[in-house]
Amino acid sequence: MSAPLIWIGLPILSGFILWFFRGFQRKMVVAGFLLCALFALLALLLPLENVLQIGGGVRIESTMSILGRTFVLSETEKPILVLLYGFGTLWLFGLLIVPKAFQMAPYILEILGLLTASLAVRPFLYAALIIEAAMLISIPMFVTTRMKSTRGLMRFLIFLTMAIPFMLLAGWAANIAEANPASSIFLNRAAIFLALGFSFLLGVFPLFTWMPMVSEESNPYVSGFILTVLSVVVLFLGVQFLDTYGWLRTLFLLPPVFRLVGGLMVAIGGALAGFDRRIARLPAYITVMQNGLAIIAISLKGAAPLTLFAGLFIPRLVITIYLCMALAILSDRSQIEKGSFFSHPFTSGAILISIFSFAGIPLLAGFPPFLILLERLGEQSAFTFPLIAIGYLGLLAAGIRHFISMIQKTELQENHRETNFTRAKFIISGLVCFLMGLLPGKIITIAETLIKAFHNWQ
Amino acid sequence: MLSQFSLVFIFLSMASVLAVLILPRFRWVIYALAIQYLAAFFLSTQTLSLGLALIKLLIGWMITALFASISTTIEKKWNSESVLSGIILRVTVMIGLWIVLYIAAPAMKSWLPVPLYLLMGGLFLLSGGIIQFGLSNQVMRVCIGLLTFMSGFEVIYASLEPSVMVSGLLALVNIGIGLVGILLTMRMGPDSEVVE
Please say if the pLDDT value at position A294 is more than 60. yes
**Distance, CA of A124 to CA of A138 (rounded, Å):** 22
Please say if the pLDDT value at position B193 is more than 50. no
CB-closest option in A133, A153, A165 to B176: A133
Q: Which of A367, A370, A372 lies closest to A439 in space, CA to CA?
A: A367
pLDDT in tens, B66-92: 989 888 878 777 766 667 888 888 889
Q: Which of A216, A228, A304, A295 lies closest to A262 in space, CA to CA?
A: A295
Band of pLDDT at residue A441, cut at 50, 70 and 90: confident
Task: Look up residue A76 and give its DSSP letter.
Answer: G
Task: Look up residue A69 and give its DSSP letter.
Answer: E
**Mean pLDDT score of chain B:** 85
The percentage of chain A sitting over the pLDDT mark of 70, rounded to a whole number, equals 95
Band of pLDDT at residue B195, cut at 50, 70 and 90: very low
Band of pLDDT at residue A425, cut at 50, 70 and 90: confident
ipTM of model: 0.90
Instruction: Please judge whether B180 and A168 are an interchain contact, meaning their C-beta atoms are less than 8 angstroms apart.
Output: no
pLDDT score for A435: 87
Q: Which residues pair with A69 in a beta bridge?
A: A66
pLDDT in tens, B114-131: 888 889 999 999 999 999
The residue of chain B nearest to residue A124, with distances taken between CA atoms, is B166
Inform me whether the C-beta atom of residue A192 falls under 8 Å from chain B C-beta atoms: no
Contacts of A148 in chain B (CB under 8 A): 194-196
Give CA separation, A81 vs A196, A282, A442, B23, B26, in Å. 27, 28, 18, 49, 46
Is A268 within 8 Å of A205 (Cβ atoms)? yes
- With b meaning 16 or more CB within 10 Å and e meaning fewer, what string describes B69-83? ebeebbeebbeebee
**Mean pLDDT score of chain A:** 86
Please say if the pLDDT value at position A56 is more than 90. no
Is B23 within 8 Å of B136 (Cβ atoms)? no
**Distance, CA of B187 to CA of B165 (rounded, Å):** 32
How many CA atoms lie less than 13 Å away from B39 in the CB half-sphere?
28
Band of pLDDT at residue A112, cut at 50, 70 and 90: very high
Q: Quick one: how many helices (H) and strands (E) in chain B?
A: 8, 0
The residue of chain A nearest to residue B155, with distances taken between CA atoms, is A165
CB-closest option in B137, B160, B187 to A151: B137
